[in-house]
Amino acid sequence: MPRADEAEEPTPGAATAPGPEEPVAAPDTGAEARGAGLDGAEEDDADEPDEDDEAEEAGRSTSAPTDAELFQQSEIAADYVEGLLDILDMDGDIDELVSAGRPVVEVVGGRLQSLVGQRGATLEALQELARLAVFRQTGVPSRLLLDVGGYRAARRKELAAVARNAVEKVKQYGEQVRLEPMSAFERKCVHDVVNAMPGVESESEGVEPNRRIVVRPAD
């Protein structure tokens, strides 16, 4: 797992690696993340926050993190991910960077599909674990974005097509269109496309894991 600026890193904890053909199960990170105050750190969904959410976010931080602090978060997460790859006996090149005001870790390599999982479920769980690792070291909830094998970039293209198709139906029939349940990352991708088009609007409804987007004519 070569990284240009890193020597051998400690693993994040003792674990038994699955066999080479066994899929990596998506761990349940909810309880521990809530205990660390990360339950509200997910900001990928573009829904309008209510007043309670805004007040909680304002009380959590009075200033935006600097690029140096964001890069530090990406380094911490990269170390954590590298440890996981060592445990799982997987090879991958790890890059850490800051993009669009958030820390990013990208993992590239062959045979990494098991780290993505069905519809990105395992990837989302690993991202929460990496965010938790950042929180443990910094005490600050992180908006870290983790990508494996270019999955998110490819998924963005697919979701852009889904969003455009929904907009066309709304404009053609003048009725709202409900999309299938999506993750926060997927909803954000759809919101971005819909909100850039005139005459339509989108919002999310429902609760996880069945939260979905509704596209309708703009008022």
Co-location of 36 and 125 in the same domain:
yes
- For residue 195, the enclosing domain spans 152-217
For the chain, the residue count is 219
How high is the pLDDT of residue 24?
Answer: 54
Does 182 lie in the same domain as 132?
A: no
Q: What's the mean pLDDT when you consider all of the chain?
A: 81
Q: Which residues of the chain carry a pLDDT beneath 50?
A: 4-23, 31, 34-35, 37, 40-44, 46-61
22: left (phi over 0), alpha (psi -120 to 50) or beta: beta
Residues 34 and 84 in one domain: yes
Boundary of a domain, candidates 96, 120, 149: 149
88 located within any domain: yes
What pLDDT is recorded for position 8?
44
Number of domains in the chain: 2
The most distant pair of C-alpha atoms in the chain lies apart, rounded to whole Å, by 59
Which strands form 212-217's sheet, in the order they lie side by side?
177-178, 212-217, 200-205
| Three-class secondary structure of residue 46 per DSSP | coil
Question: Residue 158 carries which side chain, given as an amino acid letter?
Answer: E
E strand or H helix at 121: helix 121-138
Instruction: Encode pLDDT of 123-144 as tens digits.
Output: 999 999 999 999 999 999 999 9
Q: Which CATH number fits the domain that encloses residue 77?
A: 3.30.300.20
What pLDDT score does 133 carry? Answer: 97
The pLDDT value given to residue 29: 52
Same-domain status, 42 and 118 = yes
Task: Give dist(CA 80, CA 130) in Å, integer.
Answer: 6
Taking a C-beta distance cutoff of 8 angstroms, is the pair 109, 93 a contact? Answer: yes
**Listed residues 149, 173, 207: the one ending a domain:** 149
Query: Residue 110 has what pLDDT?
Result: 84
One domain, residues 206 and 141? no
| pLDDT of the residue at 32 | 53
Res 219: pLDDT: 82
Q: Which two tokens stand for residue 34?
A: 């809530």
94-125 pLDDT, tens digit per residue, is: 999 999 999 999 999 988 999 999 889 999 99
The answer on 67 and 144 residing in a single domain is yes
Q: What is the pLDDT of residue 63?
A: 81
Question: Of 130, 149, 168, which residue sits at a domain end?
Answer: 149
Are residues 43 and 85 located together in one domain of the fold? yes
Instruction: Tell me: do 131 and 161 sit in the same domain.
Output: no
